[in-house]
Amino acid sequence: MDLVTPGVGLIFWQTVTFLIVLGLLAAFVWKPIMEALRAREGFIEDSLSAAENAKKDIEKLKNDNEYLMQEARLERDKMLKEAAELANKIKEDAKDETSKITAKMIEDAKAVIQAEKSSALNEVKGLVADLSLDVAEKVLRKKLEEKKAQEDLVEEFIKDIKVN
């Protein structure tokens, strides 16, 4: 078992060497490592803080974006409503204008029909008058072929004439 158990001198020198290495590490290496760890810890805290701020900014931007989208929807709905109202107004104006034009065309047509009717009636009256004159002429010729009938007719006209 001697092989497995170390000697007192070996333990002494290993302890002395360990303490020297520990002293050197503490004097020269420990401070820079601790400063690096503190700097790293500060960087991590700053990064976490920046990430939290970025998260808040993103949330704020998201809320602002949602608000802008809501405003855009309202504006779109308003514009669509105005466009529909304008379309209805244009349609109503077109109906009114069409009604006016139709009424004017009907009036013009009635006037033309009345004018044609009057013209036709005048033409018929003229034809009736011509026919009446022709018939009267033939009847008078037939009646006035006799001299006595002519004299009676002249006397009758003379009686009808009044002298003032």
**Domain count within the chain:** 1
DSSP letter string, 6-73: PPHHHHHHHHHHHHHHHHHIIIIIIHHHHHHHHHHHHHHHHHHHHHHHHHHHHHHHHHHHHHHHHHHH
Residues ≥6 apart with Cβ < 8 Å to 150: 144
For residue 143, the model assigns a pLDDT of 67
80-138 pLDDT tens trace = 999 999 999 999 999 999 999 999 999 999 999 999 999 998 888 888 888 777 777 77
With respect to residue 3, please indicate whether it lies within any of the assigned structural domains.
Answer: no
With respect to residue 50, please indicate whether it lies within any of the assigned structural domains.
Answer: yes
49-67 pLDDT tens trace = 999 999 999 999 999 999 9
For residue 3, the model assigns a pLDDT of 67
For residue 2, the model assigns a pLDDT of 65
With respect to residue 97, please indicate whether it lies within any of the assigned structural domains.
Answer: yes
Flag whether pLDDT at 1 surpasses 60. Answer: no
* Domain membership of residue 90 as a residue range: 8-160
pTM for this predicted structure: 0.41
Flag whether pLDDT at 164 surpasses 50. Answer: no
